[in-house]
Chain A
Amino acid sequence: MINIEIDGKHIDVENGCSVIDAAHQLGIYIPHFCYHKKLSIAANCRMCLVQIEKAPKPLPACATPVAEGMKVFTASEQAVKAQKGVMEFLLINHPLDCPICDQGGECELQDLAVGYGGSASRYHEEKRVVLHKDIGPLVAAEEMSRCINCTRCVRFGIEIGGAMELGQAFRGEHAEIMAFVSDTVDSELSGNMIDLCPVGALTSKPFRYSARTWELSRRKSISPHDSLGSNLAVQVKNNRVMRVLPIENENVNECWLSDKDRFSYEGLNSAERLTKPMIKQGGKWLEVEWQVALEYVSNGLRQIAHETGAEYIGALATPHSTLEELYLLQKLVRGLGSQNVDFRLRQSDFSADSKQTGAPWLGMAVADINHVDRFLLVGSFLRKDHPLLASRVRQATKKGAQVNLIHATDDDLLMPIANKEIVPPAEMTTVLAQVLKALAAAKQATLDTSVQQVVQSVTPSAIAQAMADSLASGERVAVLLGNFAQQHPQASQLQLLAQHIATLCGAKFGFFGEAANSVGGYLAQAVPFAGAEHGMNASAMLTAQRKAYILLNAEVELDMQNPQQALAAMGAADMVVALSAYKHHAMEYADVLLPITPFTETSGTFISSEGRVQSFKGTVQPLGDARPAWKVLRVLGNMLNIPGFDYNNSEAVRDEVLGGTDVSAKLGNVLHGVSAQNATWNVTGLQRVSDVPIYATDAIVRRAASLQKTRDAATPRALIHSVELEKLNLQSGEMVKLTQGHGSVRLSIIADDSLPRGVVRVAAGHTITAELGAMFGTIRVERA
């Protein structure tokens, strides 16, 4: 520890700490622009100049390491003179357009100019002009003359985002921030550059000119999208969500937000919002009062339960629903006498049900990812599925962590990958078995009987051996399964093998988790095996068609593993009740639409993949006649005379489910009573590999207009290895007909040699591919 004195106050700080960090620890503010605690030091704005005893000139506090006995003066005459001088230079070229600048009122330059700027400028020459740029639909770079060249955005791209999409071209007076030629910034974290920009050069395109910061009230919320549970500041004006910003939480989202969390609010105000209960009568939709709609639903459900049996009722919810909604949904269904309730809509292998020690979760704290030194990632579109977790893995690789990847596609993770095995889905278990075998040999361990047979039949490849060596040499190892692995038809086999690998190397073992409430759904008992009797899972409810379906937030053709089957089941049902915030395809097959509210208009709870219970309040009033789903379900429960539906508020529901906020005892990834099998599934023809594109994951993002204009939301194309393309006698770029089951779609096909042979990559979750079948399985490709 080093003892220094800042403005007469003493502090002990660690060696290597900078003067500005030490000052911040003391609560002393040193003005700055280019310094940011999460980014590397650039020391190019010079605003943080301070006086240091025995130094002949003022020194930049951000780039000056502390030394024993150092005496710093942040507000001495010399320091303030230097800071004022820097401010005068910064203002020389900065336009005086604060009244029309979107950053006005929340601008670091504006704030500091009040303290350090002169009341008039001594500069009378022409100011420099930097031309505006179009860098995509999210970040506006329309007024680059305002840029003070702090390079925070550039450093963010390189260090946090993983790609240098913006840079500082030219030099001196001509220096300007720009993207290469006319490229756009396509990072899934690009919105953070808006927060980082200390001036109004980079602003939010969707938010521009819609409100002033002082008109907005700021309310806390939790992201309903990915499993991280980012902390949001929802900013509201006139009962409308105008903008979303991060709330800093070092253990969750640090000070960042993914673009999905930041810009999805546009979907909240979509024209497709359902604002009135609706009933279909004689093929026509009628807007009705709540009472009428709810009576219709309760009578319908009661009738079906009575006439054909309650087991003919099934309920499907998305994992983006709140804990309270999921709990009341299953309570309602079970109260009716059915056990058919599930929220794992994209899962296809349910053989691990009730064989697991608890709810599948991350198996570690999110913050610990940064300290892992060996990763084994299985089946994950990591960057697109979990943008901020990917960033944490990236930070770990910067400290020397090795990433081993087993997956069916080779998307650029923008981080060094030590070993990777890119194989068709059917071969993923084999690769895991190979790694397990090599690891067992390295550790001289005897394997459990449940995996012995499978492991004996494989010979580790050189890559599997390298992965095993990498994992065996780690001190803090993590074995993590992604969304793809959870949706995989052999999910429990992958889980079992990965679990044994983790055991052998003493690793943390877990799942990234698909959505905001992937853990919460289990704890809410919204799974068919939670009761004494077991019901049907999401897939079984479609194969054995039910008479009535209750859909909570689900757009079945987009949210489910097999859209074709889902639509057929909905079409054949006597009654489909859709609880939804939007008018969607259910208009075709549903009988009742109940308008429920998205996360901003209800209170609720999400449980993130690390088991963090985060409750939130509504930030705006419900739109139109929409009501929070937990209230709708409460009323339905009462109308159906099911006991235990007398809750005063959503907190009461939460407390009944969880009985506290520590849920760690209910989490567990260990499988019992499952043994690894040799038989791979019968692979004939080309196999489909599906990702759910980042902006197609749930109902809100699908309607977020600006996100839908990004490159990540481009119309899906079929991707295939060029050798397979040649075999089919097709050209890259050609339109093809893709067929699964009885449905087919037309897409252009593109050669992609990073894919393994024998697969076609076609996105799921998109209306264009909703006619197709399951996310995995055989798919036929022919000339359109």
Chain B
Amino acid sequence: MLSEQVRVKVDRELKKYPPDRKQSAVMAALRFVQDEKGWIDTGDMVDVAAYLGMSQMGVYEVATFYNMYNLKPMGRHTLTVCTNLSCQLVGAMETLDYIKNKLGIRVGEVTADGKFGLREGECQNVCDEAPLLMINNKKTCGHLTKEKIDQILAELDKE
């Protein structure tokens, strides 16, 4: 069963679509679930499917297609480092290696304390700020240097 808060948000989303096209809200619904608990398990997909009158496999297709949906717990703060071409040209791989070493985890893993998760991501359309990372798919931090990364991690650590 989806939580009350998620259902309210999905209902608001559903108003944008015709009543017989409820499945149009599937991406939003999955996003709300992820915002709430940080990731989406198959049980959540079953709930979303039931709420939108979709097949479970239909929801699964969407959830697995888009890589911004976390299909396993990715820590309280998920750091997504862009490794597309523009970022690579200005040292995205070095940035990624630095974060890996700093946190002691590999891509796709979560720190032992559950605070940080690390992912590789795709282009954020702000290549002028490369290299960059995103925090929980919400906040973009650009022009990354080692110092700036230290600072970001320290701030997140305090939260």
Chain A residues with a Cβ under 8 A of chain B: 158, 163-171, 179-181, 183
Contacts and interface: CB of A to CB of B under 8 A. Distances in A.
A164 B58 contact: yes
B64 A180 contact: no
Q: Which residue among B42, B55, B58, B60 has the maximum number of chain A CB atoms within 10 Å of its CB?
A: B60
Nearest to A179: B57
Contacts of A169: 57, 60-61, 64-65
A180 B56 contact: yes
B65 A167 contact: no
Nearest to A174: B64
A171 B42 CA distance: 18
A164 B42 contact: no
28 contacts: A158-B55, A163-B55, A164-B55, A164-B58, A165-B55, A166-B57, A167-B55, A167-B57, A167-B58, A167-B60, A167-B61, A168-B61, A169-B57, A169-B61, A169-B64, A169-B65, A170-B64, A170-B65, A171-B64, A171-B65, A179-B57, A180-B55, A180-B56, A180-B57, A180-B60, A181-B42, A181-B60, A183-B57
Chain A interface secondary structure, helix, strand, loop or mixed? Answer: loop
Interface in B37-76: 42, 45, 55-58, 60-61, 64-65
A166 B57 CA distance: 7
A635 B20 CA distance: 64
A168 B61 CA distance: 6
Contacts of A171: 64-65
B23 to A, nearest CB: 11
Interface size class of B (residues with CB under 8 A): 10 to 19
A170 B66 CA distance: 8
A158 B54 CA distance: 11
Q: Which residue among A166, A168, A169, A180 has the maximum number of chain B CB atoms within 10 Å of its CB?
A: A180
A158 B57 CA distance: 11
A181 B58 CA distance: 12
A501 B60 CA distance: 45
A481 B15 CA distance: 40
B57 A164 contact: yes
Contacts of A166: 57
A183 B60 CA distance: 12
A373 B55 CA distance: 26
A168 B57 CA distance: 8
A179 B61 CA distance: 10
A166 B60 CA distance: 10
Contact of B42 (A158, A163, A167, A180): A180
Contacts of A164: 55, 57-58
A91 B58 CA distance: 28
Nearest to A171: B65
Contacts of A165: 55, 57
Q: Which residue among B42, B57, B58 has the maximum number of chain A CB atoms within 10 Å of its CB?
A: B57
A751 B55 CA distance: 23
Contacts of A170: 64-65
A641 to B, nearest CB: 65
Contacts of B64: 169-171
A165 B57 CA distance: 6
Nearest to A164: B55
Contacts of B65: 169-171
Given A166-B57, A170-B65, A171-B64, 11 more contacts: A164-B55, A165-B57, A167-B58, A167-B61, A169-B57, A169-B61, A169-B64, A179-B57, A181-B42, A181-B60, A183-B56
Nearest to A181: B42
A171 B57 CA distance: 14
Interface in B8-58: 42, 45, 55-58
A179 B64 CA distance: 13
Counting from the closest, the 7 A-B pairs by CB-CB distance are A167-B57, A164-B55, A180-B56, A169-B64, A180-B57, A167-B61, A170-B64
Nearest to B55: A164
Nearest to A172: B65
B63 to A, nearest CB: 8
A169 B67 CA distance: 12
B56 to A, nearest CB: 4
Contacts of A183: 56-57
A483 B56 CA distance: 32
B15 to A, nearest CB: 22
A562 B45 CA distance: 45
A166 B55 CA distance: 10
Contacts of B56: 180, 183
Contacts of B42: 180-181
A169 B64 CA distance: 6
Contacts of A163: 55
Contacts of B55: 158, 163-165, 167, 180
B72 to A, nearest CB: 14
Contacts of B57: 164-167, 169, 179-180, 183
Nearest to B67: A171
Contacts of A179: 57
A169 B58 CA distance: 9
Nearest to B58: A164
B78 to A, nearest CB: 19
A170 B65 CA distance: 5
A208 B98 CA distance: 52
Q: Which residue among B42, B55, B61 has the maximum number of chain A CB atoms within 10 Å of its CB?
A: B61
A181 B49 CA distance: 14
B153 to A, nearest CB: 30
Nearest to B63: A169
A165 B65 CA distance: 17
A103 B135 CA distance: 49
A182 to B, nearest CB: 10
Nearest to A167: B57
A183 B49 CA distance: 15
B65 to A, nearest CB: 5
Contacts of A181: 42, 60
A773 B61 CA distance: 48
A168 B64 CA distance: 9
Contacts of B60: 167, 169, 180-181
A412 to B, nearest CB: 12
A762 to B, nearest CB: 28
B83 to A, nearest CB: 16
B57 to A, nearest CB: 4
A78 to B, nearest CB: 32
Interface string B72-109: 00000000000000000000000000000000000000
A168 B60 CA distance: 9
Contacts of A167: 55, 57-58, 60-61
B49 to A, nearest CB: 9
B59 to A, nearest CB: 8
A286 B61 CA distance: 61
Contacts of B45: 180
Nearest to A416: B20
Nearest to A163: B55
A171 B61 CA distance: 9
A622 B119 CA distance: 66
A171 to B, nearest CB: 5
A401 to B, nearest CB: 16
A179 B55 CA distance: 11
B99 to A, nearest CB: 24
A635 to B, nearest CB: 56
A627 B101 CA distance: 80
A209 to B, nearest CB: 29
A585 to B, nearest CB: 41
A191 B58 CA distance: 21
Nearest to B59: A180
Nearest to A165: B57
Nearest to A169: B64
B71 to A, nearest CB: 10
A170 B60 CA distance: 9
